Amino acid sequence: MTEKPVRVQWTSRMAFILAASGSAIGLGNIWKFPYIAGENGGGAFVLIYLACVAAIGVPIMMAEILLGKRGRLSPINTMLILAGEIGATPAWRYVGWLGVIAGFLILSYYSVIAGWTMAYVLKMSLGSFVGISAIAAGEVFSAFKSTPQFLLIWHTVFMAVTLWIVSLGVSGGLEKGTRFMMPALFILLLLLVGYAMNSGAFRQGFEFLFAPDFSRLGADSVLIAMGQAFFSLSLGMGAIMVYGSYLPTHVSIARSTLWIAVADTVIALLAGMAIFPIIFANQLEPTLGPGLIFQTLPVAFGQMPAGAFFGTLFFVLLFFAALSSSISLIEPAVAWLSETWKMSRFRACAIAGSLCWLAGLGTVYSFNVWGEIKWFGKTIFELVDFVTANIMLPIGGVLMALFAGWVMNRQTVEAQLPLGKGLAQRAWWILIRYIAPASVFVVFLHASGIL
């Protein structure tokens, strides 16, 4: 039962924390969290989200990291080898497949949305929104989305940047990229929060984000909050597992997980504190959905002193956040191709990236020429987003939790996750075996109308 040898590894615990935090901290925090909080009542939704992170997200992240650290391979091969190690069915490898496919599908639309951030960096820096009205900003965004050529160009550029970083390897690409991007992202976000504090509506934005009003929650708000916890922490998609496979032996999984969860949550809340005061100060609506930051914030930045500068900073921040996550979304597929088919990282990146780029065309065209094509009342983008975040990630995460909690040898698990013999260890076993799976199951039953 000896631990598998490390192929490549992070150079330090901080390198792992920054990389895993980069995977977790992305558009899910700065683009998605504010708009779904706005759609689901603000403070009440935030409270449920935080509960999901603490009771479900943190223990499952620990489980996913320990699986990767034990297996030392891509998620698919890790689940296969760990199942074989204890004589369990090789069908557990499909949990790895579920994660890799989920990450692949998320990146297919994530790259398109991230491309918007690059386009808006250019628009902001050129002063395109100076003095613009809300109607005009909405028209600019609508015109941008309705032109597939623009979306396709930026989707292609962003995917190329992602693949270039990933092709450089763990220490040369993933680690160096996140060492720069994560501190830069945090500094830029603090600057924007500082501006929001002087916007004249900071108290209103703060209360919207933190004062719970449960009457404003929708029927699916708990499911959405749970899905956001999985999405924001990058759980169930294989990214955290493959990053765990590069973890040095001496690094504590528990302490690293807590640092990652705290960093991820703080960034999400800071993003809300930066965005909502600016929205309220300019009499804008917080419930505009995916286009929230692209329709409302350009108006706010266009009216403020040095708005072009701060607006450019904000969209640069979004770009960094998106890039730090996108490199983790494609890494599981690249790792699997490299180790299974013995191909170079460059070739693996080219194959995985090309297929992901191709899948992203569905999202590109769902905002324009295929906008009327819907399944279950949702466009291609909306359907992929809903299925991955609210179904595939929770199911994948829970299956990983069940494998670590019930299938793996307990001594092996405790050797990988040494929490001592006290309350911390007992709490983790209860959460991973009972609370996390039962919570996801109950939320699914409620969302389906059975409960």
The CATH number assigned to the domain holding 205 equals: 1.10.4160
2 domain-assigned: no
Q: How far apart are CA 427 and CA 55, in angstroms?
A: 10
Secondary structure of residue 170 in the 3-state scheme: helix
CA 258 to chain centre: 17
Would you state the structure tokens that stand for residue 346, as one six-digit string?
């460059």
Cα–Cα dist 150/241, whole Å: 35
In a domain? residue 7:
no
Q: Quick check: 284 pLDDT over 80?
A: no
Residue 154 CB neighbours (<10 A): 23
pLDDT score recorded for residue 331? 92
The tally of domains found in the chain comes to 1
Predicted confidence (pLDDT) per residue in 61-102, tens digit:
999 999 999 999 999 999 999 999 999 999 999 999 999 999
Q: Which two tokens stand for residue 69?
A: 């650290």
Q: pLDDT: is 291 or 334 the higher one?
A: 334
pLDDT value at 56 more than 60: yes
Residue 306: inside a domain, yes or no? yes
Q: How far apart are the first and last CA of the chain?
A: 43
- What pLDDT sits at residue 449? 57
Instruction: Confirm whether 97 is domain-assigned.
Output: yes
The per-residue pLDDT for range 419-428, each reduced to its tens digit, is 888 899 999 9
Q: In the Cβ-directed half-sphere of 69, how many Cα atoms lie within 13 Å?
A: 25
Rounded to an integer, what distance in angstroms lies between the CA atom of residue 78 and that of residue 72?
Answer: 7
pLDDT at site 224: 86
Q: Is the model's pLDDT at 337 over the cut of 70? A: yes
Q: Identify whether 63 is part of a domain.
A: yes
pLDDT band at 1 (very low <50, low <70, confident <90, very high): very low
| 319: exposed, middle or buried (Cβ count in 10 Å: 0-12, 13-18, 19+) | buried
- Structure tokens of 109? 């639309």
Residue 380 lies in a domain: yes
Of the listed ranges 116-120, 172-176, 236-240, the one predicted with least confidence:
172-176
Q: Output the CA torsion sign for 97, 99, 103, 106.
A: positive
Contact 396, 102 (CB under 8 A): yes
The pLDDT mean for the chain works out to 88
Q: Report whether 116 contacts 294 (CB < 8 A).
A: yes
Task: Please give the full DSSP string across 65-113, using - where no structure is assigned.
Answer: HHHHHHH-S-HHHHHHHHHHHTT--GGGHHHHHHHHHHHHHHHHHHHHH
Q: Is the pLDDT of residue 385 over 50?
A: yes
* Whole-angstrom distance, CA of residue 132 vs CA of residue 302: 6
Phi and psi dihedrals of 375, rounded to 5? -120, 130
The parent domain of residue 118 ranges over: 13-448
Task: Tell me what pLDDT residue 262 has.
Answer: 93
Residue 413 structure tokens: 């698990």
- The answer to whether position 6 is within a domain reads no
Indicate whether 1 belongs to any domain: no
Has residue 172 got a pLDDT over 80? no
For residue 25, the one-letter residue type is I
As a whole-number percent, the residues of the chain with pLDDT over 70 amount to 96
- pLDDT higher than threshold 60 for residue 223: yes
Banded pLDDT at 189 (limits 50, 70, 90):
confident
Look at residue 451 and tell me whether its pLDDT is greater than 60.
no
User: Which pLDDT score, from 0 to 100, does residue 62 have?
Assistant: 96
Per the CB < 8 A criterion, the answer to whether 36 and 420 are in contact is no
Eight-class DSSP state of 237: S
Q: In this structure, is the dihedral angle defined by the CA atoms of residues 47, 51, 57 and 62, taken in order, positive or negative?
A: positive
Residue 260's pLDDT band (cuts 50, 70, 90):
very high
- For residue 148, how many other CB atoms are within 10 A of its CB? 17
Tokens 């009205």 belong to 133
